[in-house]
Structure formats: C-alpha cells, structure tokens
C-alpha cells in the first residue's frame, strides 16, 4: 500500500510540475516541512527538498518529496523554518578574518581610554619586544573625542606610556590606516625628518613630530615590520598559524550561514596553502579567490594559477582583487571628484597608481581573469569604469567579462548607467550605508551624500547586477544584520539613511544568492535551489522575507549545509 501511494505521489508530482530530473529513489538528505524560497523563477517556493550526494535532486511539496525518503535518508523536520540557497559572502578577506579572530578586537571600545586599557592588559601577557596588534577602532564611533586630538585622531603619548617596550599597531576599522606607539615609530625609523610616502601620510603634531596615525600607504611601514617580526618564526609555526586562520574564518562563516566566500585578495603563497587544504578536503567553506599581487608577478604566474571548481568545488581562482584604487572615506582616503566637505584641502588618495591598475586589467583580459578593484569615491569609480571600458574595447572577441567595482560608495549620477551598459557589477556592502551614515554627511555634505552616496536602489533600477557582503573583518560577517541594514537603512542612532535607496527584501536576498553566484560565473551551480544545483543550503529560524522589520535581527542560523553535508547546526 505504501508502495502504491508512492507511485501515485510520483504521478501527481510529475503533473504538478515537481522540479525533478532523477527518478525518486532514496535521497541522502531530505529537508521537509519548511518554507523554501528557491530564487528559481520557475518555482519560487516549495515545502521540501531532497539531496543525493552533493546535488539537489528534487524540490517540491511535502508529498512529492516524501517519495525520496528511504531507510538510509536523513530527514530533517524544519517545523516551518526558512530554507534559502546557501548564502554567499560577496566580498571578504578570508585570511584577515581568521587573523582578526586572533587579535585584540577594538570595535566594542567606546573611547580612546578603553583602547589604552585593552593594550595595557595585552602588554601584561606579551613577551619581551612582541608586537601587540589590534584592529577595528574608528574615531567617529567613540562617545567622546580623544584628548589631545589632531584632525579627530588621538596622539600616541599615553599609548606609548602603557607600552614602552612593546611595539603596538592598531588597525583602523577601514583597514586604511594604522595607529602606532613610540616604540613602533622607532623600530620603523619614522621621525619628524621622514617625508610622507606617495599615497599616504604620517599625521603630525604642531611640532611636526609623527603623532601615531599612519594613513593609507604610510601604514605599510608598520605592517611590514610586523610581518618581518612574524617571519622570524619557524616554517612549522607559520604554517600552523595559517591553518588556524583558515579554520577560524571557516567556523565564523559557517556559524553565519555562509556557504561560499568571495575572498578579495590573497598572495600566490596563500593560494598554494588553500590548494593543499582543498586536496585534503580541509577547506571549511567554498572559496572564490582573487589574486592580490603586483602586475609584474601576475604576468608570470596568472596562467598557472587559474583553477575552477578545484577540490570538489571548494576552490576557484579566476579573479584579480583587493587591489585598491583609492582609500576609505573614514580616513579621508576615498578619491573624490571634488574635495571633502570637512577637509577642503583634500580630494583623498589614489593609492595604487592608475597605470598599475591598467596593467593588471590588461593581464586579466589576456589570461581570462575577472577584475574586482576597489573604487570608493566618485573619482575612483570613474577612473575604473574608464579603464574597464578601454580594455573591453581592445578585446571585442570576449563578451562576458563580468568585471566588478568594489564598494561603489560614492558614484556620480553620470557614471551610474555605465555599469549596465558595460556589464560591470556593483559590489556593495549594505551595512556601510548605516555604519558610515552618522559621519559621512560631514565628509560629503548633505547634497552629495544624498545624490551620490550608497545608491543601492538606483543601482538595482539601473539594470546592472548588484552583489552584497560585509567586507569581513571590516564589519561582522553576519548576513542577517546586513540584510536588515540593506532593507531598512536604519542606523544605530535610530534614524534612516536616505530611505529612498533601501533594497527590497527580494533584492537583498538576491544580493546574497543568485547575484553573487553570477558574479563568480557559478550561476549553473549555486544561488538557487533547483534540481542539479549544488546542495548548498542555509536554514534560518524564521521567515526573513515576511516577519515584521524589527524582528529580522532576531533570526538565527539553524543549519549551514554544503555539498549536502550539515557543517553547522545551531539555534535553540
Ligand atoms: Zn575589502
């Protein structure tokens, strides 16, 4: 009788349009009794799905999917929870995320004094001469200004007092500057006589002495010293630490429902480690890795490193990223067409010279790589569109570039339609609108902030592809918080940052699923729940597409499934 019912179900399934390519047989995993949002226009919603091996074999109603349940099937009753395609972090820094989980987290600090206290505690536990590294501070997020202050930034005096012998490097939340103490300045040989490097500056006090802040390219002095200190460890110690970073970043991603991660820039050396770990089956999430090397080095090695779906689809290398044309708005580094409203002497910085980016773009076209370069200010975005347009014109034989511009925080209205025209992808961080919102109007002025800043809805309307992500470790990897910020533009202070640019919930979900799949040339594999796609699935505790706005943040990740395997389970 049971058998006959099974047959009947198959027929009903076939005629009801059950999305099924293989005949029912035992599935390895069935998710049932849920609300499945597939992102597949042919069948946008379902109640259940079946997985065999690493693929989805059926998506349908409860009755349709029951036919796939056998003795060896793991059946998960979702009790009405929400199933969405595995979430894709569209722009993050995988190894930095891992490293950040091993450093002082300065984000919760409410003022400069708290940071000094945290460093003082770290000094107590540090070895002689050991570098103390922290990250995540932002002067405009403090409850009160530091005293004394230069251009809103602290001076190193009291930091140097609590850590006289240990060099200290505190990375700005934007990653576009570091703050150091006297011992560090001494080690890197920076004094009042040191000229500012190209593309950066040493912030100085009234006497011309370095005050501690190293903006943009000036931070390289301190970063190089930390790297040099760390390189003195044994190769075994170094590899063990790198593997720990991979694991920590993976644990963090999985706990947040992330199944694929667009890693915006790693060296060939790090890619070698990823490859080795992919061979061992030890990569925790799927990585879409962008190469970050000089064009000189890339010219020699890009061809040998291009790999697609390596290690059972856990490692793809086919893009050039991280490389930054300009700096961040928080550090007055974003390259603008007109000067900063609150720093009229400056239009920001061109960090990596236009000519070098141009060379990288030519190499990318030559070797079949995608470009994903950071353009934050409206000048930077325009320069990048010009470079991309020029290279596309030189390669009329290629018609599927899908090149990206990262962040796109300030865009001149004349440049907005150029993305769709050129097929360039908007790669935005929804959460930046609300974390920058409280101070960015001072940087840009009200009118420019409204007309050119964080134009998410205009981007979708322009017809170009928009992808999302949080730039971890710059912001928490949390896709739920980012979804909430993207659809509400509600800032911590309770006001809404230009509500006309809010994403709809469908747009926000697309920006985490189908769109980043497309941006990685993986739309045949990922981004929607349909037959034949990879069984990369995220289960959430409640329906973020319909719960009241103020409830969205209560959502928990219940399961993170990659290739049909449950890699994280949480919730109550
Ligand atoms: Zn980034």
Distant-in-sequence, close-in-space partners of 497: CB < 8 Å, separation ≥ 6: 433, 434, 437, 454, 489, 491
CA of 148 to the centre of ligand 1 (A): 31
CA of 174 to the centre of ligand 1 (A): 9
CA of 557 to the centre of ligand 1 (A): 24
What pLDDT score does 20 carry? 46
Confidence grade of residue 465 (pLDDT, cut at 50, 70, 90): very high
What pLDDT score does 7 carry? 36
CA of 262 to the centre of ligand 1 (A): 10
DSSP string, 62-101: HHHHHTT--TT-EEEE-TT-EEEEPEEEEEE-HHHHHHHT
CA of 32 to the centre of ligand 1 (A): 37
DSSP structure class, residue 551:
G
Confidence grade of residue 324 (pLDDT, cut at 50, 70, 90): confident
CA of 180 to the centre of ligand 1 (A): 22
Please tell me the least confidently modeled range out of 5-14, 73-82, 236-245, 367-376: 5-14
Per-residue pLDDT of 129-147, as tens digits, reads 889 999 999 999 899 999 9
The order of strands in the sheet holding 537-540 is: 45-46, 35-37, 82-85, 537-540, 557-562, 565-569
Return the CATH fold of 1-86+528-572.
Urease, subunit C; domain 1 (2.30.40)
CA of 92 to the centre of ligand 1 (A): 6
Is the pLDDT reported for residue 4 higher than 60? Answer: no
Per-residue pLDDT of 169-179, as tens digits, reads 999 988 899 99
Distant-in-sequence, close-in-space partners of 273: CB < 8 Å, separation ≥ 6: 239, 242, 243, 246
CA of 175 to the centre of ligand 1 (A): 8
CA of 423 to the centre of ligand 1 (A): 21
Share of the chain above pLDDT 70, in %: 95
Q: Quickly count: other Cβ atoms within 10 Å of residue 398's Cβ.
A: 11
For the chain, give every residue range classified as CATH 2.30.40.10: 1-86+528-572
Report yes or no: 177 and 329 within 8 Å, Cβ to Cβ. no
CA of 475 to the centre of ligand 1 (A): 10
Is the pLDDT reported for residue 545 higher than 90? Answer: yes
What pLDDT score does 127 carry? 82
Per-residue pLDDT of 414-440, as tens digits, reads 999 999 999 999 999 999 999 999 999
CA of 406 to the centre of ligand 1 (A): 8
CA of 136 to the centre of ligand 1 (A): 14
DSSP string, 405-467: EEE--B--TTTHHHHHHHT-EEE--HHHHHHHHHHHHHHH-HHHHHHHB--HHHHHHTTS-EE
CA of 158 to the centre of ligand 1 (A): 31
What pLDDT score does 6 carry? 35
Separation of alpha carbons 240 and 238, rounded Å: 5
CA of 438 to the centre of ligand 1 (A): 21
| CATH number for domain 94-231, candidates 3.10.310.70, 2.130.10.10, 2.60.40.420, 3.30.413.10 | 3.10.310.70
* Coil, strand or helix at 249: helix
Output the furthest CA–CA distance in the chain (Å, rounded): 91
CA of 211 to the centre of ligand 1 (A): 27
For the chain, give every residue range classified as CATH 3.10.310.70: 94-231
Please tell me the least confidently modeled range out of 224-238, 268-282, 483-497: 224-238
What pLDDT score does 1 carry? 32
Confidence grade of residue 572 (pLDDT, cut at 50, 70, 90): low
| Over residues 458-472, mean pLDDT | 98
Is the pLDDT reported for residue 203 higher than 80? Answer: yes
Confidence grade of residue 10 (pLDDT, cut at 50, 70, 90): very low
CA of 382 to the centre of ligand 1 (A): 19
CA of 324 to the centre of ligand 1 (A): 9
| Over residues 277-296, mean pLDDT | 96
Average predicted confidence (pLDDT) for the chain = 93
CA of 311 to the centre of ligand 1 (A): 25
CA of 93 to the centre of ligand 1 (A): 6
CA of 491 to the centre of ligand 1 (A): 21
Percentage helix, strand, coil, to 5, in the chain?
35, 25, 40
CA of 15 to the centre of ligand 1 (A): 48
| Over residues 11-28, mean pLDDT | 56
Q: Quickly count: other Cβ atoms within 10 Å of residue 553's Cβ.
A: 16
| Over residues 225-254, mean pLDDT | 92
CA of 98 to the centre of ligand 1 (A): 14
Is the pLDDT reported for residue 157 higher than 80? Answer: yes
Give how far Cα 398 sits from Cα of 365, 393, 404, Å.
9, 10, 16
pTM as predicted: 0.83
What pLDDT score does 23 carry? 57
């Amino acid at each position: 009788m049971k058998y006959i019912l099974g047959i009947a179900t198959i027929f009903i399934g076939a005629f009801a349009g059950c999305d099924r390519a293989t005949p029912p047989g035992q599935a390895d995993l069935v998710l049932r009794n849920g609300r499945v949002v597939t992102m597949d226009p042919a069948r946008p919603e379902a109640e259940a799905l079946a997985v065999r091996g690493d693929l989805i074999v059926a998506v349908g109603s409860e009755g349709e999917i029951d036919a796939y349940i056998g003795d060896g099937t793991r059946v998960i009753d979702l009790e009405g929870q929400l199933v969405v395609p595995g979430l894709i972090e569209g722009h993050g820094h995988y190894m930095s995320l891992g490293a950040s989980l091993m450093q002082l987290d300065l984000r919760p600090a409410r003022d400069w004094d708290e940071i000094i206290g945290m460093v003082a505690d770290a000094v107590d536990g540090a070895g002689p001469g050991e570098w103390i590294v922290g990250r995540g501070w932002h002067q405009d997020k403090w409850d009160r200004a530091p005293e004394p202050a230069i251009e809103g930034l602290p001076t190193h005096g009291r930091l140097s007092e609590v850590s006289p012998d240990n060099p200290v490097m505190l990375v700005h939340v934007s990653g576009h500057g570091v703050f150091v103490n006297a011992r560090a300045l001494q080690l890197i040989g920076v004094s009042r006589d040191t000229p500012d490097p190209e593309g950066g500056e040493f912030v100085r006090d009234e006497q011309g002495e370095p005050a501690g802040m190293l903006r943009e390219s000036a931070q390289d002095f301190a970063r190089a010293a930390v790297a040099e200190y760390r390189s003195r460890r044994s190769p075994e110690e170094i590899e063990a630490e790198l593997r720990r970073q991979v694991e920590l970043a993976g644990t963090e991603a999985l706990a947040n429902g992330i199944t694929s991660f667009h890693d915006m820039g790693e060296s060939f050396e790090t890619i070698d480690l990823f490859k080795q770990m992919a061979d061992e089956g030890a990569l925790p999430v799927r990585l879409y890795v962008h190469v970050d090397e000089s064009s000189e080095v890339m010219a020699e090695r890009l061809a040998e490193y291009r790999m697609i779906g390596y290690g059972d689809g856990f490692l793809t290398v086919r893009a050039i990223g991280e490389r930054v044309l300009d700096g961040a708005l928080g550090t007055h580094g974003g390259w603008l067409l007109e000067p900063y409203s609150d720093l009229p002497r400056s239009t920001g910085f061109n960090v990596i010279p236009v000519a070098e980016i141009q060379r990288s773009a030519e190499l990318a076209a030559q070797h079949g790589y995608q470009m994903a370069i950071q353009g934050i200010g409206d000048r930077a975005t325009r320069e990048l569109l010009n470079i991309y347009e020029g290279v596309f014109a030189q390669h009329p034989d290629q018609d599927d570039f899908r090149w990206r511009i990262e962040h796109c925080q300030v865009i001149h209205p004349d440049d907005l339609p150029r993305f769709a025209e050129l097929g360039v992808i908007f790669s935005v961080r929804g959460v930046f609108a609300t974390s920058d919102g409280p101070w960015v109007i001072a940087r840009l002025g009200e009118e420019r902030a409204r007309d050119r800043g964080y134009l998410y809805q205009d981007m979708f309307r322009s017809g170009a592809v928009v992808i999302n992500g949080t730039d971890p470790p710059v912001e928490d990897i949390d896709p739920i918080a980012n979804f909430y910020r993207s659809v509400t533009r509600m800032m911590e202070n309770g006001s809404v940052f230009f509500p006309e640019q809010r994403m709809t919930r469908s747009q926000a979900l697309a920006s985490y699923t189908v769109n980043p799949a497309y941006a990685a040339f993986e739309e045949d594999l990922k981004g929607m729940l349909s037959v034949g796609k990879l069984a990369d699935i995220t289960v959430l505790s409640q329906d973020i597409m319909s719960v009241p706005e103020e409830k969205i943040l209560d959502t928990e990740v219940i399961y993170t499934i990659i290739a049909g395997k449950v890699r994280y389970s949480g919730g109550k």
